[in-house]
A = this chain, B = another copy of it.
């Protein structure tokens, strides 16, 4: 499968069967994230795989509320991934501060996407989740207070009849230009 085909197939999966996910598949997804590039190779991330059913359900329940209920599908997905932002080395931080830039969130995004693309190659569906009760989940996973829980990802098998949606994106002439903004 070519890369363009892979990224066309990857989509947010918000419905899951109860088929369990092989650990070997998960480890290959983690490996893909591990190999991701980062500013000065700082690798400012930690991936926590939540596959213990009781704990997974508890974490899932912290991704929605009565008001914000679009993440309820996390109760169906057999696995959740929590990604924490780790501090880059000092020199990197100084560089970023001098230039008023933060590379670490870009780096974390790349690693998360590596994970999701490898999952797609393994036949697994994923969804990145940005809405959750950070404090509660940090407590459940024993994440130190000073760490930032940056992103969650649900992982599992989409139902067989789950449709591949056509991607809606800005036209190429709008999101890209030649030699001038």
Seen from chain A, the residues whose Cβ lies within 8 Å of a Cβ on chain B are: 1-4, 6-8, 10, 12, 27-28, 30-37, 39, 41, 43, 45-52, 55, 84, 95-96, 99, 101-103, 105-110, 112-114, 116-118, 121, 128, 130-131, 134, 141-144, 147, 150-151, 167-170, 172, 175-181
Contacts and interface: CB of A to CB of B under 8 A. Distances in A.
A152 to B, nearest CB: 12
Given A4-B32, A4-B121, A46-B181, 10 more contacts: A3-B117, A7-B32, A7-B35, A12-B37, A33-B175, A52-B179, A109-B109, A109-B113, A141-B180, A142-B180
B105 A49 contact: no
A8 B35 CA distance: 7
Best-surrounded residue of A55, A116, A176, A180 (most CB of chain B within 10 A)? A176
B46 A144 contact: no
Given A4-B32, A181-B84, A169 B43 contact: yes
Contacts of A151: 106
Best-surrounded residue of A41, A95, A181 (most CB of chain B within 10 A)? A181
Contact of A105 (B106, B113, B170): B106
